[in-house]
Amino acid sequence: MVIKYMTLGMSGSTTGTCLEEDDVDLKICRVCMDKATGYHFNVMTCEGCKGFFRRAVKSNIRYSCPFQNSCVITKNSRRQCQACRLKRCLEIGMNKEMIMSDKAVEERRTLIKKNKTLKMTPSIPEEPDLTKEQEKLLEDLLEAHRKTFDASFTHFTQFRVGIVYQTLRQGSLHFLSQYVVASLYTVCISIQSTHQYTQSSTLMKPYPVKISLEKDYKLQRNFSMLPHIADLATYMIQGTINFAKAIPFFRNNSLLSCK
């Protein structure tokens, strides 16, 4: 940087070139004079001041200047006084409102995670060959499935969870619901193995380009859902029954005693 300025001063002063100079001017951090990397929270700043501003505002800590509250902020001094650095950030117009809220950040992270999962493109199975009746039944089942378990599976989000923790003896740790954590873990594994399956299995052939009718797409998709629906139904029914059976109250009243 030093060299660059000197060069400019020696060779460029008479010509009064504009673009270069303006660029250099515009590319200076309004907070600390370091090299700026663009507009951050509404002001041209460097990466350092960008990160500092976000952290300072989000942490919500009230800094206090150990000097006279009038520190000059430069590339080299900016680290010495957080209070004055933040003050300067605000003075030149950096906008708190442009920092994403925790909620917004959470949504963003979720979106990215979802997109990543979706990008892992699986292949498509063979086209099944069904009778009219079978196709109708298939439609019925899929429709029932859709009605019962909405696409975003919102039921799960509404589950309240318990807090399961271990004693201090067992490692000085308390834990969130083991159950929920375990289920996340397992669902993750499930999805990953499913990915592997659909991506590597020789049974899963790439979708034939020649098949392009809307109806064929739909049929294939529906058909592939059948095993899943069957598993889910089995699980739901058996789970309900088993749970009830395991409660002494129900056992004693022999409502379910047919074994």
Partner DNA sequence: AGGAGTTCAAGAAGTTCA
Partner DNA sequence: TGAACTTCTTGAACTCCT
- Which of Zn ion, DNA, a copy of itself, none does residue 27 bind (CB under 5 to 8 Å by kind)? none
Q: Closest CB to a copy of itself among 72 and 247?
A: 247
By CB under 8 A, residue 255 contacts a copy of itself = no
Beta bridge partner(s), residue 224: none
By CB under 5 A, residue 219 contacts Zn ion = no
* 155-214 positions binding a copy of itself, by CB under 8 A: 155-165, 167, 172-196, 198, 207, 214
Q: Closest CB to DNA among 114 and 228?
A: 114
Q: Closest CB to a copy of itself among 2 and 18?
A: 2
* 1-40 positions binding DNA, by CB under 7 A: 34, 38-40
By CB under 8 A, residue 37 contacts a copy of itself = no
How near is the Cβ of 14 to a copy of itself at its closest, in Å?
Answer: 19
CB environment 19-51: b (16+ within 10 A), e (fewer): eeeeeeeeeebbbbebebeeebbebbbbebbbe
- Which of Zn ion, DNA, a copy of itself, none does residue 31 bind (CB under 5 to 8 Å by kind)? Zn ion
* Neighbouring residues of 217: CB distance < 8 A, sequence distance ≥ 6: 211
The answer to whether the CB of 133 falls within 8 A of the CB of 141 is no
Query: CA-CA distance, 29 to 82, in Å (whole number)?
Result: 16
Q: One symbol per residue from 44 to 63: x for binding DNA (CB under 7 A), - otherwise; what is it? A: --xxxxxxx-xxx--x-x--
Beta strands in the chain (DSSP E): 38-40, 43-45
Q: Residue 214 half-sphere exposure, CB side, CA atoms within 13 Å? A: 0
- Per-residue tokens: 109: 């992270």
- Per-residue tokens: 3: 């060299």
* 7-46 positions binding Zn ion, by CB under 5 A: 29, 31-32, 34, 46
CA neighbor of 222 nearest in space, from 114, 146, 120? 146
By CB under 7 A, residue 79 contacts DNA = yes
* 221-240 positions binding a copy of itself, by CB under 8 A: 221, 224-233, 235-237, 239-240
Q: Counting Cβ atoms within 10 Å, is residue 115 exposed (0-12), middle (13-18) or buried (19+)? A: exposed
The binding site for Zn ion (CB under 5 A) comprises 29, 31-32, 34, 46, 49, 65, 67, 71, 81, 84
Contacting residues toward DNA, per CB under 7 A: 34, 38-42, 46-52, 54-56, 59, 61, 78-79, 82, 98-100, 105, 108-109, 111-112, 115-116
